[in-house]
Amino acid sequence: MKVYPPEKIRNVALVGHNGSGKTTLAEALLFRAGAVKRQGTVEDGNTVLDYDEEEHKRGMSMSLAMAPFEWHGHKINLIDTPGYPDFVGDVHAALRVVDLVIFVVSAVEGVEVQTEKTWRLAAELGIPRMIFVNKLDKERSSFDRTLTELRDRFGAGIAPLELPIGSEASFHGVADLLTDTAFVYDSGSAQQVPIPEDMQDREHEVHDNLVEGIVVADDDLLERYLDGDVPSADELEKVMGVGVANATVFPVVCGSATGPIAVDRLANFIVEIGPSPQARASFTVVAGSEEMEVEGTPDGDPLLFVFKTIADPYVGQISMFRVMSGTIKPDNVLNNTRSGTDERLAKIAYISGKETELLQEIPVGDIGVVAKLTDTKTGDTLSPKNKPVTVKTIETPAPVLAAAIVAKTQADEDKLATSLRRLIEEDPALRLARSDETKQTLLSGMGELHLAITLEKLARKFGVAVVTEEVRVPYRETISRPAQAEGKFKKQSGGRGQFGVAFLKVEPMHRGDGFEFVDEIKGGSIPRQFIPAVERGIADTMANGGIFGYPVVDVRVRVYDGKYHAVDSSEMSFKMAGSIGFKAAMKAASPILLEPISRMEITVPPDYQGDVMGDLSSRRGQMQGTESVNGMQRIIATVPTSEIMRYAVDLRSLSQGWGSFTAEHERYAELPSHLVAKVARAAEEED
């Protein structure tokens, strides 16, 4: 494929709900463009874009994939994105680098959850949008119903450019509202014909509404139109292109990806009214602590942004990037502004599915790949070393579900950390952490399927097998009243023995105050050099677990007396005395369990508010308030952390996928007495 200038490039992402036909549409576009000899199908597992083994097995996209193709003297960089909510991180990645988002909407199911969520994100970012109404040849499909939904959900700016000819099984073409002509696909390829008589009245009415909607955006065209001069289709298209680039007009076209019907016309619209990188060349960078707007130009400094990495066990890491400024050539050396590492781009290429084509240069606005960068991951910027800047990006969504993982064998343990690091570099929506309190390794992601696929990749790509465990809740213990006890450690086994006695008083502290040790020894009943050992013995015992086996907090301990032996006493003996004394005192101080409490913010449509609040109450949640935000309801509550370990799964079911939430630790509170036995029993089983 030849090198195209920025004005001849279109960077496009296909987005929409799972099952709307995005990958099928992408394959149809590649076929119509002659980039492939036959149209691949998701069902047969022979698509260019869904090439991963797991995607074949599950019949769905689970990662973004790219395939460029040439169309009428232009290059279209097509990015196919997953529609399942667990893989929304890749949708965010695609939106970072495209200039046009095409929403694929099923004419059977209409506007679904992920479509609306992604529309809101694209609107926040001001990204140009088009809509392709797909599956018009399927039973129960309806263009009119879908168009009404689009207008209801997305408001002003929805502008249909086509009407379908026929419906369901008889769908075979489209009426072009700009040219007042029809295109039918009875023989496979498009044939231009007059508008069918039975739809002429409706087509003319919609055509007039469309023209009026376009000319109001241009004073000259409006004046001519009012004088009776109807603008040409090319003039209307040009004005509409400005509205698309400004994200104020959202054209709606229609067809069938499986037909394929009107897919070629979609490609025409992409190059005719879709914005080029040149039209959206301005972007924000951070230099030091300052943000600034810069223009990406062909003769500017070379600057690239890595929006996706692919972990390949054979090739190594493959980094997908967009050139933000200048021209990238093989053997360029650029600096990673995050890590400070110099990176040599030994070989640069285009990527189509999993296949690559080496290149001698990639200009500003274009998208390419490079392999084997030393220390670069998704979201990084590579810039000239003497002009370090960072491209400002979209925040990756925070993980919502965690699983505790354990390597099956020692060999798996040896490879686990490195392999997981490579997968996390590929997918920033994953997080890995080690809990010091529960002694578990936690892998967090966007949902059950996301985590399951990650573990399957871990086994298939890197040969690392793991098992999952329930995530343990980090309970804590404290005391509810003062008490005192003697801690005595005496051991004699011939020769020098061990002897130490410490008298302790314990008392509860305010929640969150931690641990305080008070030295009240007088008269040398415990020599000064041994008192720190008493404190260490108490602190170690508190950390290792109290009566129920959980760390002890919010306790003040006073050592007020003791005994020692001139020969047998040592630091170890007094450390043991402190430990024994604390255990005895705690038993006498009416120990209680503390559970973590999370502050939650749940956002749902108003229709689901009652169900969600009722569910939170059943989880021992306490409502803190509600507020209306952009037509959604935000519910604020505090809920025991143990009750929301799988809340991501439950909320998705409760709200039909519309809900989202954040949760963060707020405080610890006493566990109700009727639950103590259950938690204590679980702790014993874990031991």
- Span 219-233, pLDDT tens digits: 888 888 888 888 888
**209, part of any domain:** no
Q: What is the mean pLDDT of residues 547-576?
A: 94
Q: How many domains does the chain have?
A: 5
User: What are the pLDDT digits (tens) for 254-290?
Assistant: 999 999 999 999 999 999 999 999 988 788 889 888 8
Domain boundary (344, 371, 391) is at: 391
Are residues 453 and 378 part of one domain?
Answer: no
Cis peptide before 482 (omega within 30 of 0): no
On whether the CB atoms of residues 62 and 83 are closer than 8 A, the answer is no
Structural domain span for residue 518: 476-589
Cβ burial, residue 439 (10 Å; 0-12/13-18/19+): exposed
- What is the predicted pLDDT for the residue at 226? 86
On whether the CB atoms of residues 173 and 165 are closer than 8 A, the answer is yes
- The residues with which 100 forms a beta bridge, in sequence order, are 12
- What is the predicted pLDDT for the residue at 461? 87
Q: What is the mean pLDDT of residues 37-65?
A: 82
User: What are the pLDDT digits (tens) for 622-678?
Assistant: 999 999 998 899 999 999 999 999 999 999 999 999 999 999 999 999 999 889 988
Higher pLDDT, 23 or 422: 23
d(CA 146, CA 331): 50
d(CA 219, CA 217): 7
**217, part of any domain:** no
Out of 292-301, 403-412, 663-672, which region has the weakest mean confidence (pLDDT)?
292-301
Are residues 297 and 272 part of one domain?
Answer: no
- What is the predicted pLDDT for the residue at 108? 97
**554, part of any domain:** yes
Write out the two tokens for 350: 């285009």
**220, part of any domain:** no
CATH number at residue 350: 2.40.30.10
- The residues with which 603 forms a beta bridge, in sequence order, are 634, 660
User: What are the pLDDT digits (tens) for 494-533?
Assistant: 667 899 999 999 999 999 999 999 999 998 899 999 999 9
Out of 188-192, 327-331, 652-656, 678-682, which region has the weakest mean confidence (pLDDT)?
678-682
- What is the predicted pLDDT for the residue at 631? 86
**Average pLDDT score over the chain:** 92
Instruction: Quote the percentage of the chain above a pLDDT of 70.
Output: 99
Are residues 503 and 483 part of one domain?
Answer: yes
Which pLDDT band, with edges at 50, 70 and 90, does 686 fall under?
Answer: low
**396, part of any domain:** no
CATH number at residue 52: 3.40.50.300
Are residues 517 and 632 part of one domain?
Answer: no
- What is the predicted pLDDT for the residue at 33? 94
Q: Is the pLDDT of residue 315 over 80?
A: no
CATH number at residue 446: 3.30.70.870
Q: What is the mean pLDDT of residues 465-481?
A: 95
Are residues 163 and 117 part of one domain?
Answer: yes
